[in-house]
């Protein structure tokens, strides 16, 4: 006959086991509860083998995928499901169960450890909901501003397209004239040069006789003096002709060079990736600054990133526009600026700009995680997406 202590021990173990299995069913209810339905056998979730159901959560890893131990740390690759009622459910490695560190906000991962984990899910859930509400409001306002930026961006692009064709047409018309003026300039310069050479030879030839008597010198000098005026005025006229030809050509050449620059800038703008709706186009030509102790950092989208010394000792180039560098599924979340000023005994400076949604365009933060590699955080309406299409975090109720 069992004594009272034995009966008490058996009773406690029974209720402890009953509670444990009840809790395990709660753990898996959100995702794979049907797979853990009580039966005579349990099929490992990878289909590799079946084991007696009593071997589930016995603190021994029987399945290769660890699916027989969702509530213990026996299987290193298995996952433990934190229900986190009132907050966001999550999975953690089973190896972190009963490790005396509270990973689940409901404390369910440390039920059998010596650590008492308070249930703070409601508090965290409330803060998360408040933050989500705040971010949703920012997203709504930012997306509304993005629509305006997109319209302005489309208008800018249309203007560039409309301006490019007349510029090219004007340039083509001026090219034949430039060729004619170049020939005219070259002819005038050649005549000027030839006359100078002829005058120099004549002067040197006549002047060589000055080695004779004083009477001869006087006679030669008088002759040269009387004839120099003829050569002088001829040279002046030829020089004026050459200078006029040079000026006429140079003015037209500058005009064509200016047209080339305008055409190149327009084509660059037209072909640039300013986002799917061109919302980023209006940020081209703008610069945003952030003061941080000794330095002022400047970010000019699609152009450059710069570090300026607050004492006015000049600028350091941190990088020039390279391309969008976000992951394929979120391409417009990052930008790369490369080829900055060379570091002392190091590489060229490089900047990665992380883009986030914001009500206004603003440079928020600058860090240097490693030598000569900079990280900028920039918020702008151009990065805001439609909040009505955003997936919100699921709260366990």
Which 3 state secondary structure label does DSSP give 160? helix
> Tokens for 302?
């699609």
Both 111 and 157 in a single domain? no
Both 266 and 323 in a single domain? no
Both 177 and 210 in a single domain? yes
> Is residue 140 one of the residues assigned to a domain?
no
The CA distance from 277 to 286, in Å, is: 19
Both 102 and 41 in a single domain? yes
**What are φ and ψ of residue 252, in 5° steps?**
-70, -35
Regions of the chain with pLDDT less than 70 = 1-39, 71, 192, 194-238, 390-397
The pLDDT score that the predictor gives to residue 26 is 44
What are the distances in angstroms from CA 367 to CA 10, 45, 141, 244, 288?
A: 61, 45, 28, 57, 16
Looking at 94, 119, 144, the residue that finishes a domain is 119
Q: For 112-149, write each residue's pLDDT tens digit.
A: 788 899 999 999 999 999 988 888 899 999 999 999 99
> Tokens for 110?
């440390």
> Is residue 126 one of the residues assigned to a domain?
no
Both 17 and 70 in a single domain? yes
Number of independent structural domains in the chain: 3
> Is residue 336 one of the residues assigned to a domain?
yes
Both 199 and 260 in a single domain? yes
Looking at 247, 271, 295, the residue that finishes a domain is 271
Looking at 271, 294, 318, the residue that finishes a domain is 271
Q: Give the domain CATH number at 364.
A: 2.70.130.10
Q: For 238-284, write each residue's pLDDT tens digit.
A: 577 778 878 888 888 899 899 999 999 999 999 999 999 999 999 99
> Is residue 280 one of the residues assigned to a domain?
no
Both 159 and 49 in a single domain? no
The pLDDT score that the predictor gives to residue 7 is 44
153 CB-contact burial (10 Å; exposed 0-12 / middle 13-18 / buried 19+): buried
Which 3 state secondary structure label does DSSP give 343? coil
The pLDDT score that the predictor gives to residue 313 is 74
Both 14 and 111 in a single domain? yes
Range of the domain at 98: 4-119
> Is residue 147 one of the residues assigned to a domain?
no
Which residues, 6 or more positions from 110, have their beta carbon under 8 angstroms from its beta carbon?
97, 98, 99, 100, 101, 102, 104, 116, 117
Under a CB-based contact definition with an 8 Å cutoff, are residues 326 and 352 in contact? no
Both 40 and 106 in a single domain? yes
Using the 8-state DSSP alphabet, how is residue 103 labeled?
A: -
Under a CB-based contact definition with an 8 Å cutoff, are residues 359 and 145 in contact? yes
pTM over 0.85: no
Both 266 and 289 in a single domain? no
Both 25 and 99 in a single domain? yes
Under a CB-based contact definition with an 8 Å cutoff, are residues 52 and 42 in contact? yes
The CA distance from 164 to 171, in Å, is: 11
> Is residue 128 one of the residues assigned to a domain?
no
> Is residue 133 one of the residues assigned to a domain?
no
> Is residue 394 one of the residues assigned to a domain?
no
């Amino acid at each position: 006959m069992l004594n009272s202590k034995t009966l008490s021990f058996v009773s406690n173990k029974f209720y402890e086991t009953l509670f444990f299995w009840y809790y395990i069913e709660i753990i898996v209810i959100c995702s794979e509860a049907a797979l853990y339905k009580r039966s005579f056998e349990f099929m490992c979730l990878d289909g590799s083998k079946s084991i007696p159901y009593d071997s589930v959560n016995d603190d021994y890893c029987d399945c290769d995928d660890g699916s027989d131990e969702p509530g213990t740390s026996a299987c290193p690759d298995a996952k433990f499901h934190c229900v986190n009622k009132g907050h966001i459910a999550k999975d953690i490695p089973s190896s972190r169960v009963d490790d005396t560190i509270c990973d689940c906000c409901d404390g369910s991962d440390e039920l059998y450890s010596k650590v008492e984990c308070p249930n703070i899910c409601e508090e965290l859930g409330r803060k998360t909901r408040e933050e989500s509400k705040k971010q949703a409001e920012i997203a709504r306002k930012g997306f509304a501003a993005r629509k305006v930026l997109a319209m302005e961006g489309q208008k800018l692009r249309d203007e560039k397209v409309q301006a490019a064709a007349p510029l090219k047409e004007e340039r083509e018309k001026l090219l034949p004239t430039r060729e004619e003026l170049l020939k005219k300039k070259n002819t005038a310069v050649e005549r000027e040069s030839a006359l100078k050479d002829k005058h120099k030879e004549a002067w040197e030839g006549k002047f060589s006789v000055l080695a004779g008597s004083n009477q001869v010198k006087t006679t030669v000098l008088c002759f040269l003096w009387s004839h120099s005026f003829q050569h002088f005025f001829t040279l002046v006229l030829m020089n004026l002709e050459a200078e006029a030809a040079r000026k006429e050509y140079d003015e037209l050449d500058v005009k064509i060079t200016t047209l080339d620059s305008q055409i190149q800038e327009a084509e660059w703008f037209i072909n640039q990736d300013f986002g799917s709706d061109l919302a980023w186009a209006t940020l081209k030509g703008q610069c945003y600054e952030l003061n941080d102790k000794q330095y002022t950092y400047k970010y000019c989208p699609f152009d450059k990133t710069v570090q300026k010394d607050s004492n006015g000792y000049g600028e350091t180039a941190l990088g020039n526009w390279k391309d969008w560098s976000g992951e394929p599924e979120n391409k417009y979340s990052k930008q790369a600026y490369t080829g900055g000023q060379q570091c002392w005994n190091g590489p060229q400076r490089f900047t990665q700009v992380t883009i986030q949604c914001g009500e206004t365009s603003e440079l928020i933060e600058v860090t240097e995680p490693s030598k000569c590699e900079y990280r900028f955080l920039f918020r702008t309406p151009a990065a805001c997406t439609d909040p009505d299409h955003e997936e919100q975090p699921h709260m366990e109720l």
